Amino acid sequence: MPSIERTVALLWPATIETFAMVAWSLFFSHLLGVPLGLLLVLTGPGGVAENRLAYRILDAAVNFGRSVPFVILMVSVVPLTRFLTGTSIGPVAAVVPLTLAALPFVARLTETAVLTVDRGTIEACISMGASRLDLIRFVFIPESLPSLVSGMAVTAVNLVGYSAMAGAIGGGGLGDLAIRFGYQRWETEIMVASVAVLVAGVQIIQLLGDRISRWLRR
Amino acid sequence: MITVEHLCKSYNGPHGPIKVLNDVSFQVERGEIFGIYGPSGVGKTTLLRCLSLLEKPDSGDIFIDGEKVSSLDGKNAGHLRLRLGLSVVFQGYNLLNSRTALGNVMLPLEIRRVPKAEARSKAKELLKLTGLESRQDFYPSSLSGGEKQRVAIARALVTEPRVLLLDEPTSALDRETATSILQLVEKLNRIYSVTVLIVTHQIELARSITRRGIFMCPNGKSVEVKEDAVN
């Protein structure tokens, strides 16, 4: 029976790995996904740079990205992962498929959040002489920030789940720990402890997301 | 200063086109407070949107300072709006919820790349003039309807426009607040010599500050209303 010390010694680095994977992939997926979401809004129906063809292509790409199951995505992007990180296993490598999995989701959440911005407010800014970039800077992002933060929390929770899946095929973190010790060696305590940390992590992320979003809605 | 000639505008309805503006003509002098009256749904806001270059009329002309503005496309309209000094106060205030009252008033100056310190000082001056000095750090959600309207007016005037277009500025306010907003408009008209066009269905209220105007009829036509007729 594993001691508490051993469980903690195994859990601690795995927890750090999991949350590092989630944090980095959350960062990169927003770095790429938010601009993609804004492009969807700008080129979409009624957008300030409406372009039917561009919107259709972007829309289809986002739908395609969202429909690929994560496990298949992870395996299919191994060459890209190797190219970018020099390896296909471990938490650093896992950031690539995690980012790619979250990116279309972030783009869609961004589009939905920005579309809730009052049309009258946008028109008022246009009447003041705002350019498209001004609209993004002064209206789209600040006005939809509470929804964007809520979406970020949802994405982070999804990434925690994905990171556990990544662990199953060598991604490291709590998923890897749970599979190696909890499933393959049948050490129930490690399995339960891993799940408990994941559940607590999800609760904290959601709570933080809700609080920040509420504060921004002042 | 503003000349509108034979303006027509239709929208597509479920049973064919609906003529909202039907041969509307009038003239507004520089520095005047001009009323566009009429019940709801007669095309007052459409007329204001055409005047603020947010919509293109189907036919007819609009001249501002002798310049024909009715045939411009969206992009050129934006530049022209700035050059001619057109400012609009929309019916729903359209304030940014993510910005304080001060931030909202600073916005048009930030869009024009005015240095922040200068924009802040100018915005504070306008907030003082509109009686909102103590509310400058409040977000729109903490302001009353009358205060929001004052912020919207301050925001519209911060760029020192030559023409101020107000869409139903008093419709959502109680009588006392509405009167104070109209008095504020009159005061700002005097201070800045800004030409003001007020769209309203509250003719009785608006007549306290307007000298002339037009009454929009349900058939899209307009009838000129002079001071004597209003009073």
The ipTM estimated for the assembled molecules is: 0.83
Q: Which of A120, A130, A216 sits opposite B94 (nearest CB)?
A: A120
Residue pointed to by tokens 């002064």:
A138
**Do the beta carbons of residue B78 and residue A126 sit within 8 Å?**
yes
Which pairs with CB-CB distance under 8 Å and at least 24 residues apart come from A197-203? A197/A11, A197/A15, A197/A18, A198/A18, A198/A160, A198/A164, A198/A174, A201/A15, A201/A18, A201/A19, A201/A160, A202/A157, A202/A160
Beta strands in B16-138 (DSSP E): 16-28, 33-37, 59-64, 67-68, 86-89
Quick one: closest CA in B to A141, which residue? B98
CA-based diameter of chain B, in Å?
54
* Between A93 and B229, the higher pLDDT residue: A93
Instruction: Verify whether the Cβ–Cβ distance B107 to A142 is below 8 Å.
Output: no
Q: Which of A123, A134, A143 sits opposite B54 (nearest CB)?
A: A123
B27: contact with A, CB 8 A cutoff: no
Q: Enumerate residue ranges in chain A where pLDDT < 50.
A: 1
Q: At what angle do helices B116-129 and B145-157 cross, to 10 degrees?
A: 130
B18: contact with A, CB 8 A cutoff: no
Chain B residues in contact with A130 by the CB 8 A cut-off are 111
Quick one: closest CA in B to A144, which residue? B98
Instruction: Verify whether the Cβ–Cβ distance A125 to B107 is below 8 Å.
Output: yes
**Do the beta carbons of residue A59 and residue A36 sit within 8 Å?**
no
Residue B229 in this model has a pLDDT that exceeds 60? no
Strand arrangement of the beta sheet that strand B33-37 belongs to: B86-89, B163-167, B195-200, B33-37, B212-216, B222-225
User: Which CATH number applies to A4-216: 3.30.420.40, 1.10.10.60, 3.40.1390.10, 1.10.3720.10?
Assistant: 1.10.3720.10
Give the residue numbers in A contacting B (CB under 8 Å), as ranges.
118, 120-121, 123-130, 134, 138-139, 142-143, 145, 216, 218
DSSP A15-65: HHHHHHHHHHHHHHHHHHHHHHHHHHHHHSTT-TT--HHHHHHHHHHHHHH
Structure tokens at A131: 């350019």
pLDDT of B139 = 95
| Cα B42 off chain centre by | 17
Chain A residues in contact with B51 by the CB 8 A cut-off are none
Q: Which of A124, A125, A129 sits opposite B82 (nearest CB)?
A: A129
Quick one: closest CA in B to A139, which residue? B96
Domains and CATH numbers, chain B: 1-85+161-231 (3.40.50.300), 92-159 (no CATH)
Residue pointed to by tokens 């994977």:
A21
Other residues' Cβ atoms within 10 Å of the Cβ of residue A91: 24
Instruction: Verify whether the Cβ–Cβ distance B111 to A125 is below 8 Å.
Output: yes
Kindly state the average pLDDT of the residues B128-155: 92
pLDDT of A37 = 97
Instruction: Verify whether the Cβ–Cβ distance A130 to B111 is below 8 Å.
Output: yes
By DSSP bridging, strand B2-13 and strand B59-64 are antiparallel
Extents of the domains making up chain A: 4-216
Q: For B61-118, how does the pLDDT look when each residue is reduced to its tens digit (9 = 90+)? A: 999 888 888 776 666 777 788 888 899 999 888 999 999 999 999 999 999 999 999 9
Chain B residues in contact with A124 by the CB 8 A cut-off are 88, 90, 94
Residue B34 in this model has a pLDDT that exceeds 90? yes
Residue B231 in this model has a pLDDT that exceeds 80? no
pLDDT of B230 = 46
* Between A169 and B8, the higher pLDDT residue: B8
Q: Which of B52, B110, B139 sits opposite A138 (nearest CB)?
A: B110
- pLDDT band for position B228 (cuts 50, 70, 90): low
Measure the CA–CA gap between A64 and A107, rounded to whole angstroms: 12
B26: contact with A, CB 8 A cutoff: no
| Cα B56 off chain centre by | 17
Residue pointed to by tokens 């995690």:
A98
Residue B75 has phi, psi (to 5 degrees) of -70, -45
CA-based diameter of chain A, in Å?
71
